[in-house]
Amino acid sequence: MYRADLFEGLLNIDVVLSLAALLAWWWAARAASRFPHPTPAPWADPIDDPPARETPDERPAHDAPTLGSPADGDPGNGGTTGGDPTGGHPARGDAADGSPTSGHPARRDAAGEGPARSGAAGPGVGGVSAGEAGRGAVGGKPAGGRAGRDPGRRVRIRARILLGVLAAGTLLLVARTVIGALLAGFGWEFGADRVVVAAPLVLLPAVAVACWTVPRLWRLSSRRSPSPPPEAPLPEASHPEASRPEAGALPDGGLAPKAPPAGTFPARAWPSREPKMVWPVQVTAVGAVAGFVLAFLWPISPPFTGEALIVFTAHGLTSALLWNRLGRRARTGPVRPRWGRRALAAALVVAVVGGCARLSAEASEHPPVMTMHGPGLPTAHGSAHSPLFGNAPGSATPAEDPVSVTELTEPDTGPPDRRFTLVAREQRVRLASGAVVEAWAFNGSVPGPELRVREGDLVEITVVNRLSAAEVSVHWHGVDVPNAADGVPGVTQDAVPPGGRFTYRFRIKPGDIGTHWYHSHQSASEQVGRGLFGPLIIEPAGAPEREDVTERTVMMHTWQSQGRDRRAFGLADRLERLAVPAGRKVRLRVVITSPTPRFFTIDGTSFMITAVDGNPINGPSALSGVRLMLGAGGRYDIEFTMPDGPVRLTEAYALDSGLLMSPDGGGEVTPTTWSSPEFDISRYGTPAATPFDHTSRFDRTFSFKFDNRPGFYDGSFTLLWMINGHVYPDIPTPVVREGELIRLRFANRSRLDHPMHVHGHRMLLLTRNGRPLSGSPIWRDTVDVQQGEIWEVGFRADNPGAWMDHCHNLLHARAGQMMHLMYDNVESPYKTGGSTSNHPL
């Protein structure tokens, strides 16, 4: 099992467990509060409430209908506090309607038979005629008879069921805590919320449950039913309210008059609705609700400033209110529900929830115009000391010498070494399988034409937009161009309108070599998907003109064809065969252009990964039998010498496609099992000197935590992909100063991987899950941060500008996971937002 899969699995199990715990404890709290009252009906003489509203309903037989309800699985069925008008009450309601004279025996009967009836009676049976009551009583006799004669048995059963649920609920809580501890094993901030915040909210009250509730329930569950003293006085005779017709005016049909005597059973025999028995269960239930909210709706992470305080305070207050309520009830007896009030409360809840949803939907709406930075926008200045905890907030102090993005152009105005033109237009293309894609293409081909240049070249590329109705812009992914040539609409330029054109000029910096790619950065989540991308290869300055090598660029993509997803290498969504003479060097340049990561294997030969994101790996060793994983935007250069037999490049989840190479183009290879160990780039290759490492003194450290939760983004409900609890444009903008050494720390608490891409810079990987890299120095422009992983990376702030910094799962970026790296003296005159035509993602 892979680390990321394990982490994701734990998160998912945890959500299910938290939901199950919530349901179990909620049910238990309701059931516990419905046990009969211990003291002999002091409420028979109600003090606080008007008599018409206050009803005795705690006599055991009376309770009988309720007793059935736990087994029915409907906590709402509770009779004693009258939770539900549908079940449980018919017999009582009927009996109450009966006339005092004829009704009397029937009433007793009905009350006794209640449970049997309630089991069968559907909604709407309640509150009919006395005749109905009779029938109900008779009909219920066979089943209900036993219970009617021995209500103590029902209580025992009910107590046992409740004990069982409490045990199960406790197991769920313990399991959640174990999962929290396991998650914390991936990194403290992955499980701290469960261990430090959620667990105490449930485990402490669960101890109280064990001390107070369980012994009482235990006694109830094992007690022999006390037999009713035959001479017990009937409550109807002694109770002034009992025969009053006003009981029938109770909203759910009333039930006062027909119950058997309170004295039927010694009240002390029913140690029950005392606060000490009910309250711990209720408090645990409230904690379980909090646990679910924290697991699913409101992920929090250390240092929990404020958040934990809110949670604990809310839990404490709710617990105090419940205690107070139970105390009141113990004195006055249960209050019959007032349906008007209940409806009002429900309406209030709906209004509040609806109002909150509406407000947060509105609050999430993007302003019609947004700028990259400026007064009023949140910024972060990182911290020099604590890489673990957050980014010091700062204000956008205007630098003395502001530079506009428009000035950050290629200084060399001379004739370019290489010149290209890319024309974007709609183009229908066919995949190898024949599936038709309504693509958008550069120069009529998908992927777009390969741009091959040399290290040090001055490059000029003109992009012409012939799309019928969409703007376009092009970003040179992995190439550290001057900011003005970065191709991000609303940040470094205005999007190119249909019919328009834009020229990009940049000189390839020394050392900037290898496999890169270009793609549209206007509505990138859509336009890259449609095909506006292509390879950009930079040859090292000293490379021979002609190399004796078979080279293939494999752009792993997901196409939309007739509403279906199709995974392909370029346009090949079928197995492609290639004849390569034995002994020849093969170089595969793998580029992930899809939003989701790709898992792939190479079978039939050992191979080397010679470069990642274009950057050469020092002393790569031969690999075989490993699973390769590469996130969106990332590149691997893979090299091997062609053996006599066939070699196959296969992508998981697309086993019937792939690239098969062999001397004669024939043959077969079975792909390695997908459970083979995953390639670990942090231990690959040979160490070498680097300009800085994980022990260096960094001028600033920015810490980013990734979470996901449901919520509103720009007015619509979706799954949010968050950075430090925020989504764009509310994520504080990291601000740096030219020349500084910057460290970024990425911790992924969410359910999916996040390939974090920083424009304009290459990052040196420093540590993976706290462990320094042990192999070759690894430089990347897109860092795969898998679920449950923590990466630290460093770079020198040597390329002034406003640089996008986002997840290259462009769908995540589109849903909030993007920000900008700002140099403190740079200003951008460009704007994004709904009222502009600049939409970078």
Q: What angle do CA 434, 438, 439 make, to 5 degrees?
A: 105
Site residues for Cu ion, 660-689, by CB under 5 A, read none
Contact between 820 and ligand C2O per CB under 6 A: no
- The burial class, CB within 10 Å (0-12 / 13-18 / 19+), for 663 is middle
Q: Which of 30, 108, 425, 759 binds ligand C2O (CB under 6 A)?
A: 759
Rounded to whole angstroms, the Cα distance separating 670 from 204 reads 55
Nearer to ligand C2O, 274 or 613 (CB): 613
Q: Which of 81, 264, 809, 838 binds Cu ion (CB under 5 A)?
A: 809
Rounded to whole angstroms, the Cα distance separating 149 from 265 reads 12
Residue nearest to ligand C2O (CB): 477
Going through 216-375 in order, the beta strands assigned E by DSSP cover 370-371
Q: What angle do CA 834, 839, 841 make, to 5 degrees?
A: 125
Strand partners, 557: 568
Least separation in angstroms between CB 423 and ligand C2O:
21
Site string for ligand C2O, 492-531 (x = CB under 6 A): ---------------------------x-x----------
Site string for Cu ion, 737-756 (x = CB under 5 A): -----------------x--
Least separation in angstroms between CB 475 and ligand C2O:
5
Q: CA separation (Å) from 740 to 453, 735, 736, 823, 828?
A: 30, 11, 7, 10, 21
Nearer to Cu ion, 557 or 812 (CB): 812
Whose tokens are 């990466």? That residue is 791
Overall residue count recorded for the chain in this entry: 841
Contact 461, 450 (CB under 8 A): no
- Partner from Cu ion, ligand C2O, none contacting 59, C-beta within 5 to 8 A by type: none
Contact between 37 and ligand C2O per CB under 6 A: no
Rounded to whole angstroms, the Cα distance separating 489 from 830 reads 8
Least separation in angstroms between CB 706 and Cu ion:
7
- Choose the binding region for ligand C2O from 34-42, 154-162, 743-751, 804-812 (rule: CB under 6 A): 804-812
**What is the separation, in whole angstroms, between the first and last Cα of the chain?**
34
- The burial class, CB within 10 Å (0-12 / 13-18 / 19+), for 279 is buried
Q: CA separation (Å) from 696 to 600, 631, 742?
A: 35, 28, 10
Least separation in angstroms between CB 205 and Cu ion:
37
Nearer to Cu ion, 281 or 524 (CB): 524
Contact between 785 and Cu ion per CB under 5 A: no
Contact between 477 and ligand C2O per CB under 6 A: yes
Contact between 806 and ligand C2O per CB under 6 A: yes
Rounded to whole angstroms, the Cα distance separating 128 from 509 reads 89
Rounded to whole angstroms, the Cα distance separating 597 from 810 reads 12
Which secondary structure element, helix H or strand E, spans residue 526, and what is its range?
A: helix 524-530
- Partner from ligand C2O, Cu ion, none contacting 807, C-beta within 5 to 8 A by type: Cu ion
Nearer to ligand C2O, 137 or 556 (CB): 556
Nearer to ligand C2O, 475 or 557 (CB): 475
Least separation in angstroms between CB 805 and ligand C2O:
8
Contact 35, 220 (CB under 8 A): yes
Q: Which of 608, 722, 783, 804 binds ligand C2O (CB under 6 A)?
A: 804
Residue 194 CA, distance from chain mean position: 15
- Partner from Cu ion, ligand C2O, none contacting 648, C-beta within 5 to 8 A by type: none
Least separation in angstroms between CB 492 and ligand C2O:
11
Whose tokens are 């901030």? That residue is 189
Half-sphere exposure of 403 (CA within 13 A, CB side): 18
Contact 583, 641 (CB under 8 A): yes
Least separation in angstroms between CB 808 and ligand C2O:
6
Rounded to whole angstroms, the Cα distance separating 611 from 616 reads 4
Strand partners, 576: 659
- Partner from Cu ion, ligand C2O, none contacting 809, C-beta within 5 to 8 A by type: Cu ion
φ/ψ (deg, to 5) at 257? -80, -20
Cβ neighbors of 321 (< 8 A, separation 6 or more) are none
- Partner from ligand C2O, Cu ion, none contacting 475, C-beta within 5 to 8 A by type: ligand C2O
Q: Which of 173, 431, 793, 807 binds Cu ion (CB under 5 A)?
A: 807
Contact between 633 and ligand C2O per CB under 6 A: yes
Which secondary structure element, helix H or strand E, spans residue 726, and what is its range?
A: none
Least separation in angstroms between CB 301 and Cu ion:
17
Site residues for ligand C2O, 651-680, by CB under 6 A, read none
Least separation in angstroms between CB 721 and Cu ion:
5
Nearer to ligand C2O, 27 or 795 (CB): 795
Alpha helices in 545-651 (DSSP H): none
Residue 152 CA, distance from chain mean position: 47
Contact between 812 and Cu ion per CB under 5 A: yes
Contact between 757 and Cu ion per CB under 5 A: no
- Partner from ligand C2O, Cu ion, none contacting 754, C-beta within 5 to 8 A by type: Cu ion
**CB neighbours of residue 43 within 10 Å:** 22
- Partner from ligand C2O, Cu ion, none contacting 759, C-beta within 5 to 8 A by type: ligand C2O
Give the total of residues touching ligand C2O (CB under 6 A).
10
Give the total of residues touching Cu ion (CB under 5 A).
5
Residue 130, SS3? helix
- Choose the binding region for Cu ion from 10-18, 379-387, 681-689, 813-821 (rule: CB under 5 A): 813-821
- Partner from Cu ion, ligand C2O, none contacting 804, C-beta within 5 to 8 A by type: ligand C2O
Instruction: Write out the two tokens for 488.
Output: 């991000």
Contact between 757 and ligand C2O per CB under 6 A: yes
Chain positions contacting Cu ion, by CB under 5 A:
754, 807, 809, 812, 817
Q: Contact positions toward ligand C2O, by CB under 6 A?
A: 475, 477, 519, 521, 633, 757, 759, 804, 806, 808
